[in-house]
Amino acid sequence: MRAWLAAAFLAAASQRALAADAASLWPKLQPIYVDLHAHPELSYQETATAAKLAGALKALGFEVTTGVGKTGVVGVLKNGAGPTVMLRTELDALPVEEKTGLPYASKVTAKNASGDTVSVMHACGHDVHMTAWLGAAMLLAGDRASWHGTLVMVGQPAEEVGFGARGMLDDGLLTRFPRPDVAIALHDTEMLAAGTIGVRPGPVFASADSIDIVIHGRGGHGGRPQLTIDPIVIGAKIVLSLQTLVSRETDPFDPAVVTVGAFHAGTRPNIIPDSALLQLTVRAYSGAVRERLLSGIRRIAKGEAEAANAPQAPDVTASSVAAVTVNDPALVARLETALRRELGDARVVEQIRVMASEDFCEYARDGIPIVTMQLGATTPATLAKAKAEGTALPSLHSSLFAPDAQPTITTGIEALVAAAKGVFGH
């Protein structure tokens, strides 16, 4: 009994110490967060963001390399013999016009890859991630006596378009720098309360594929449809038939999504066009379900075109955005022990699986055990009220997404430090 009480006392003291250390950084981190939030940059345009992170790491004593995978940042801090731990954050923002009403709301516009002027916002919380990541770097760099090994801080570009991780890997991330034994990240969510961290083994983010279907018809006058083969009607039938891939061909216990996000066709009400374009996103949690969905999309598109006597089969082009992100079970077990010890049982919850995707999976595909944790971002009272009323909160990618900044960021710092030390040992 005495041993148990002593262990509990030490654990409580450790929790208070880490929480106090993270909280003490807020006066320094708050202006950094506001600056990052107010000045977002699109994928592969994150030059100012990267410079800010690189400068902060250099000031902490890291060996810093910029321009990795175009605009990525890598900071290395060697601290004796031991494991190599990689902590990764994302740099990029989204083409979304911010409508949060925050005093530091983004008013930034930029040219996208197509040359169009778009509004830009950190609608996915990457500004939260970067700030927590910097805070973790500050605590770990300032307390080198408590851990031994090599810390690799990775600021990754272009996560939102799915190319950033692979770009850094192709640019020698695992060969130019110490190869990590593990890679750890976190992602905020409106579905958990600020102050909590979620973790679970196995799949946590879905695979994502983008599909373009070009339907070929025979155009003509809208008043003489009998002389045409209408690609819009064919497209409408394809859209409806695609729903059966999930509702009638997929086991209800296998997560799957087929969404038609865009339907482009025609120029005037009285002209039936020669072609139509459907654009889809496909999400799954297993390779078998993914392949079955992709095969079914091709089958349905071809079948509906044949049924309408189309002059040729549709062109179906698939491009993979991300594979399934799978948290390494052994690493999860190790990190969960560390998280519960440092944050307390009440603040460590089960991660909620989502059908969004993450290119963090790319590091696992190159043989690195990975874990991405889920960071609560909603005021507890707000979350409780929404659950009681059955209402939806502004989610990631929403123009209204506004995390509860201070407790979200300080919890992120605690989680990253606890996770890193859980691997380093201390």
User: Is residue 71 located within the same domain as residue 177?
Assistant: yes
Q: Give the residue from 287, 322, 357 where a domain finishes.
A: 322
User: Is residue 284 located within the same domain as residue 418?
Assistant: no
> How crowded is residue 58: how many other Cβ atoms within 10 Å of its Cβ?
12
User: Is residue 140 located within the same domain as residue 220?
Assistant: no
Give the total number of structural domains in the chain. Answer: 2
Give the whole-angstrom CA distance, residue 147 versus residue 421: 6
Q: Give the residue from 293, 322, 351 where a domain finishes.
A: 322
> How crowded is residue 13: how many other Cβ atoms within 10 Å of its Cβ?
10
User: Is residue 151 located within the same domain as residue 74?
Assistant: yes
Residue 104 lies in a domain: yes
User: Is residue 240 located within the same domain as residue 211?
Assistant: yes
Residue 3 lies in a domain: no
* Per-residue pLDDT at 15: 76
Give the whole-angstrom CA distance, residue 141 versus residue 46: 25
In which domain, by residue range, is 152 found? 17-205+324-424
* Per-residue pLDDT at 3: 52
User: Is residue 235 located within the same domain as residue 371?
Assistant: no
Q: Residue 349 sits in a domain of what CATH number?
A: 3.40.630.10
Give the whole-angstrom CA distance, residue 188 versus residue 394: 13
Residue 77 lies in a domain: yes
User: Is residue 341 located within the same domain as residue 417?
Assistant: yes
* Per-residue pLDDT at 16: 81
Residue 11 lies in a domain: no
Residue 1 lies in a domain: no
User: Is residue 276 located within the same domain as residue 335?
Assistant: no
User: Is residue 287 located within the same domain as residue 379?
Assistant: no
Pair of tokens at residue 180: 């990590």
User: Is residue 168 located within the same domain as residue 241?
Assistant: no
User: Is residue 414 located within the same domain as residue 361?
Assistant: yes
Q: Give the residue from 303, 322, 341 where a domain finishes.
A: 322
* Per-residue pLDDT at 320: 85
Give the whole-angstrom CA distance, residue 300 versus residue 179: 45
Residue 147 lies in a domain: yes
Q: Which mean pLDDT values do the consecutive 10-residue runs of the chain (426 residues) have? A: 48 78 97 98 98 98 98 98 98 98 98 96 98 98 96 98 96 98 98 98 96 98 97 98 97 96 97 98 95 98 98 95 95 98 97 96 97 98 96 96 98 98 89
* Per-residue pLDDT at 426: 61
Residue 7 lies in a domain: no
Residue 53 lies in a domain: yes
Q: Do 414 and 22 form a contact (C-beta atoms < 8 A)?
A: yes
Residues 6+ apart with CB under 8 A from 397: 94, 96, 123, 124
Q: Residue 297 sits in a domain of what CATH number?
A: 3.30.70.360
Sheet holding 63-68, edge to edge: 63-68, 72-79, 149-156, 84-90, 182-193, 370-378, 197-199, 348-350
User: Is residue 216 located within the same domain as residue 310?
Assistant: yes
